[in-house]
Chains A and B, each alone.
Chain A
Amino acid sequence: MTSTIRFQFTKGQEVRFLSHLDLVRAMERAIRRAGLPMAYSEGFSPRPIMSYSFALPVGVMSEAEYADFRLVEDWDPAYFMEQFNKHLPPGLRVLHAERLPEGTPALMSEINAALWRIRLPQAEQVAVEKRWQELQAVDSFVVERQTKQGSRSVNLRPLLFGVPRIAREGEAVEVHCLAAVGNQGNLRVEELGLLLGFDSAQALITRIGQFKKVGSAYYPPLGNRGCTWTE
């Protein structure tokens, strides 16, 4: 009796410098420590059957990563979460898990937007607000993007969704913004920095949501699946 469990997990401070590959490896080891009844791939070097949402850049934290694990037994999601959390390293924590109905689209094919929280030194508030004023008036902000095939021009402006929220938060300033993620258009964090005028290497960035964007409504891949965010 196989089943698939989709869960939301964090990538905290302790593990923010792991690459996506490091993260997957850490997950595989935690799976084995926890004794999860994973389904394994065929072939000579069997791997647990699992898939993740879009890779988080090194150094960036998250409160809303998602993964689908295929199990050979039908485990209660709450029990799964409890068992797995006992064996996950510090910083990786399952927040919510549920059984995935057959035929649910893969994370990668559904998710197309992410909600970011960017923590900056207070001094940068003015610059970011000013940049946002400028951006509102234009529909194009073209940069050169380096890819394996060379560099090409990309218009970043349409990849930023809705209106960023810029607010003082204690000693710092916090920017919340929605941006494109995935195969249909992807705003990298350093490009987000270029766009909003901050240095992404010095900012504390957290992905706090991932969504399927339909028009101006945003649906998370887990939970009640109702629209939880609008532009």
Chain B
Amino acid sequence: MDKRLVPLLPLVTKPARYTNSEVNAQHKEWTEDRVTMALAFPDIYDVGMAHLGFKILYALINSRPDALAERVYAPWVDMQQLMIERGIPLTALESGRDVADFDLVGFTLQHELSYTNILKMLDLAGIPRRTQDRREGDPLVLAGGPCAFNVEPFADFFDFVVLGEGEEVIQEILDVVKAAKQSRTPRQETLRELARLKGVYVPSFYRPVYDSGRFQGLEPLYPDLPARIEKRVARDLGSLPFPEEFVVPYTEVIHDRVMVEILRGCTRGCRFCQAGMIYRPVRERDPEQLKEQVAKLVSSTGYDEISLSSLSSGDYTQIRSLVKDLIAAYRGCGVTVSLPSLRLDSFAVELADEIQKARKTGLTFAPEAGTQRLRDVINKNVTDQDLKEVVQAAFQAGWHRIKLYFMIGLPTETEADLDGIAELAHKVLAWGREFRTSRKRPEVTVSMASFVPKPHTPFQWRGQDSLETLRAKQEYLRERLRHPGIQFSFHEVEHSFLEAAFARGDRRLGAVLERAVDLGCQFDSWGDELRFDRWLQAFREAGLDPVDYAQRSLDPEEALPWDHLSPGVDKKFLVREWELAQQAIPTPDCRWDRCTLCGVCFNLQVANRLTEVGSGD
């Protein structure tokens, strides 16, 4: 760590965030021939340490003799103030070196409300915010992650952007940067070189065209640049390296446990879900390989929990035998197994029962919508009957608290759909009274988010409800959910509004972002940190209307600021899905039904890859 921070540590909350020396942290020597990369997470340590993507990259980069990676997190507000007062720049955890000294500074774009933190971190690091202001010797600033699929609001700030899975392309990037470092290649030429890599997008090499305030498209500045940048994707996860060690934090962080990725991608096809579109196709990891990974990680970290992560873990073909084997293997030493993303079906209850045995705390289900009709619209293929069976099974199996996730403001939503949410909550409570085996009183927790239109989804064209409408809907539900057995919460509408504006934003929003940071906006996703009035001021001063970005319904014919960034899904598939949605016609999952012609397999030359039941024996 940076020695200059030591005297500040007694003055800040949770000083262990800044102290490094964790078990399995890599301290590689800074030699001339090594490419250095800072993995910069745009939130505090407690949040960033949970990110599996960076764990993978950290291990992968540090396994190369000619490269090293170190971690950087956003200091919390108290530490930031002290650093600014004393003129201490942002440094990396391992070596304590200035972030500005690295060859590469890579950010992950996990959600829109972390954007201000990125600019703030560049400011703290003393790295010029804008690509055009960076000089030879400044780091190359890059980004990846889900929001890279519409990175345009950040186009002026990132030197380059990576679309899709990082495991393979990072090697190519390191090779290019290493060669450039050795031959002292000028920055612009290095970027030209990087732009030749598949999956790499250099925003400054493209010029946006607007007509009377509307985005018309992007023009490449050089003839050899692709008009569309296609994401990177691995055919077989088994061929990708996976870390054998995780850095083990001292201080409490979220998801502090062994994590293995059992499958990547999801083809359920929920029409609001960006992850379901951009991570296709589905690729399962071999169960024997997973068990080996778990064994290595448990013994190198000493964690007491193993999490089997993916977008929908119940979909893993051999989930039952995998869970059973892991529980049997680790029961003796106090290590538990958890499945964070379980879809709602009776199978899920059996699995959860297997995992939780005696501790029946809470079970979470996400029906997303209150009526069958609306669930068909969003393609959440769960029926009323499924819901009833699964909830009854859960109460019978001994759970007493059921948590339900819903979205409000979905396309085609009517009052009946809102009523449906309230009715479902009351019904679950009634089933609880009827079927519970636990002595505890049944409880229902209802958590409601607002719909946010996301790029590359069938709902990308649909504007978000106005703030007033969303508030009115929340009020409507609040009255109908009031009951001693029901707890409920809503996402703040201001958060969802900004998310929508930036999710569907174009390059002009860069000015808004910059102004918002200057006005003191950061940590926007932290409930009480969001300064909405300053955001509105930032939009006003940039002469842009956030309502237009968030709430306007777009024409499927019009050019979108993310058309050139391709996850492999065809736009005509999205249009088709959008039309089916409006007729409330669901589309089945291509894993078990016919091909939906989304385009991914054809465009990227990949295919769903499921493990065979019994293949691990």
Q: With A33-B302, A89-B22 given, is the CB distance from A15 to B11 under 8 Å?
A: no
* Complex contact B250–A59 (CB within 8 A): no
Check if A59 sits within 8 Å of B9, measured CB to CB: yes
B558 CB, nearest partner CB in chain A, Å:
53
Q: Which residues of A contact B299 (CB under 8 A)?
A: 32-33
Q: List 18 A-B contacts (CB under 8 A).
A: A14-B21, A15-B21, A21-B252, A22-B251, A25-B250, A26-B248, A29-B301, A30-B302, A32-B298, A32-B299, A33-B300, A44-B358, A45-B336, A59-B9, A59-B10, A89-B250, A90-B21, A202-B10
Cα(A45)–Cα(B335), bound, Å? 9
Nearest A-chain residue to B358, judged by Cβ? A44
B residues near A (Cβ < 8 Å) are 9-11, 15-16, 19, 21-23, 248, 250-252, 298-304, 333-336, 357-359
A28 lies within 8 A of chain B by Cβ: yes
**A59-B9, A201-B11, A202-B10 known; A40 vs B334 contact (CB < 8 Å):** yes
Cβ B15 vs Cβ A59 within 8 A = yes
Whether B334 contacts A15 by the Cβ 8 Å rule is: no
A18 to B359 Cα, complex, angstroms: 30
Residues of chain A at the chain B interface (Cβ within 8 Å): 14-15, 17-19, 21-22, 25-26, 28-33, 40, 44-48, 58-59, 87, 89-91, 201-202
Q: How far is the CA of A202 from the CA of B10 in the complex (A)?
A: 8
A17 & B16 in contact (Cβ 8 Å cutoff): yes
What are the residues of chain B within 8 A of A58 when measuring CB–CB? Answer: 15
Give A219 Cβ to nearest chain B Cβ, in Å. Answer: 32
- Shortest CB-to-CB span from A84 to chain B, Å, is 12
Min distance, Cβ B435 to any Cβ of chain A, angstroms: 23
Q: When chains A and B are docked, how far (Å) is the Cα of A15 from the Cα of B250?
A: 9
Q: Are A17 and B15 in contact (CB under 8 A)?
A: yes
Known contacts A29-B23, A32-B302; 9 additional CB pairs below 8 A are: A14-B19, A18-B16, A32-B298, A32-B299, A33-B302, A45-B334, A45-B336, A89-B248, A201-B11
Instruction: Give Cα distance in the complex from A19 to B15, angstroms.
Output: 10
Residue numbers in A under 8 Å from B248 (CB-CB):
26, 29, 89
The one of B11, B302, B336 in contact with A29, judged by C-beta atoms closer than 8 angstroms, is: B302
The interface residues of chain A lying within 8 Å CB-to-CB of B19 are 14-15, 17
Q: List, in ascending order, chain B residues with CB within 8 A of A28's CB.
A: 302, 304
Q: Chain B contacts of A201 at CB under 8 A?
A: 10-11
Residues of A within 8 A of B336 (CB): 45
Q: Is the CB of B301 within 8 A of A18?
A: no
Q: Are A26 and B15 CB-contacts (below 8 A) given A33-B300, A89-B22?
A: no
> Across the interface, do A18 and B302 meet the contact criterion of CB distance under 8 Å?
no
Instruction: Give the residues in chain B near A29, CB-CB below 8 Å.
Output: 23, 248, 301-304
Q: Judging by beta carbons under 8 Å apart, are B21 and A18 in contact?
A: no
Inter-subunit contact A91/B21 (CB<8 Å): yes
Taking CB atoms, residues of chain A closer than 8 Å to B301 are 29, 33
Q: Please determine whether A45 and B21 come into contact, CB atoms closer than 8 angstroms.
A: no
Q: Please name all residues of chain B whose beta carbon is closer than 8 Å to the beta carbon of A22 when the two chains form the complex.
A: 16, 250-252
CB distance from A107 to the nearest CB of B (A): 22
Asked, given contacts A17-B9, A32-B302, A33-B300, whether A47 binds B334 with beta carbons under 8 Å apart, the answer is yes
> Bound state CA distance, A58 and B15, in angstroms?
9
The smallest C-beta distance from B306 to any residue of chain A, in angstroms, reads 12
Which of B10, B11, B303 is most buried by chain A, counting CB atoms within 10 A of its CB? B10
With A21-B252, A22-B16 known as contacts, the answer to whether A45 contacts B23 (CB < 8 A) is no
CB distance from A17 to the nearest CB of B (A): 4
In the complex, A80 Cα to B359 Cα: how many Å?
Answer: 33
**Given the complex, which residues of B lie within 8 Å of A15, measured CB to CB?**
19, 21, 250
Report chain A residues within 8 Å CB of B21.
14-15, 89-91
Find out whether the CB atom of A31 lies under 8 angstroms from the CB atom of B302. yes
Whole-angstrom CA separation of A202 from B7 in the bound complex: 8
Query: Which of chain B's residues have a CB closer than 8 A to the CB of A31?
Result: 302
Q: Which residue of B lies closest to A33 (CB)?
A: B302
Tell me the complex Cα distance, A8–B44, Å: 34
Q: Which residues of A contact B304 (CB under 8 A)?
A: 28-29, 32
> What residues of chain A lie closer than 8 Å to B300, measured between beta carbons?
33
Bound-complex Cα distance A17 to B19 (A): 8
- Set of chain B residues within 8 Å of A19, measured between Cβ atoms: 16, 251
CA distance A17 to B11 in the complex (A): 11
Residue of B nearest to A43 (CB): B358
In the complex, the answer to whether A26 meets B333 with C-beta atoms within 8 Å is no
CA distance A44 to B336 in the complex (A): 10
**Closest residue on chain A to residue B334 by CB atoms:** A46
The 5 lowest CB-CB distance pairs between A and B, nearest first, are A29-B302, A32-B302, A17-B15, A33-B302, A14-B21
A40–B332 alpha-carbon span in the complex (Å)? 9
Complex: A21 Cα to B301 Cα, angstroms: 18
CA distance A34 to B19 in the complex (A): 24
Chain A residues whose CB sits within 8 angstroms of the CB of B333 once the complex forms: 32
Bound CA–CA A201/B298 (angstroms): 37
Residue of A nearest to B360 (CB): A44
A179 to B333, CA, bound (A): 40
Looking across the interface, which residue of chain A has its beta carbon closest to that of B23?
A89
CB of B82, distance to nearest CB on chain A (Å): 13
In the complex, A215 Cα to B298 Cα: how many Å?
49
Which residues of A lie under 8 Å from residue B10 when comparing CB positions?
A: 59, 201-202
* Least Cβ–Cβ distance between A127 and chain B, in angstroms: 20
Nearest B residue to A34, CB-CB: B302
**Quick check: B15 and A44 within 8 Å, CB to CB?**
no
A26 touches B11 (CB 8 A): no
Contacts of B250 in A (CB 8 A): 15, 18, 22, 25-26, 89
- In the complex, what residue of chain A is closest to B301 when comparing beta carbons? A29
Bound Cα distance A91, B333 (Å): 26
* List of A residues within 8 angstroms of B251 by Cβ: 18-19, 22
Minimum CB distance partner of B11 in chain A = A201
Of B15, B250, B303, most buried by chain A (CB within 10 Å of CB) is: B250
**Looking across the interface, which residue of chain A has its beta carbon closest to that of B332?**
A40
CA distance A58 to B13 in the complex (A): 11
Q: Which residues in A have their C-beta under 8 angstroms from that of B15?
A: 17, 58-59
Shortest CB distance A25–B (Å): 7
Contacts of A32 in B (CB 8 A): 298-299, 302-304, 333-335
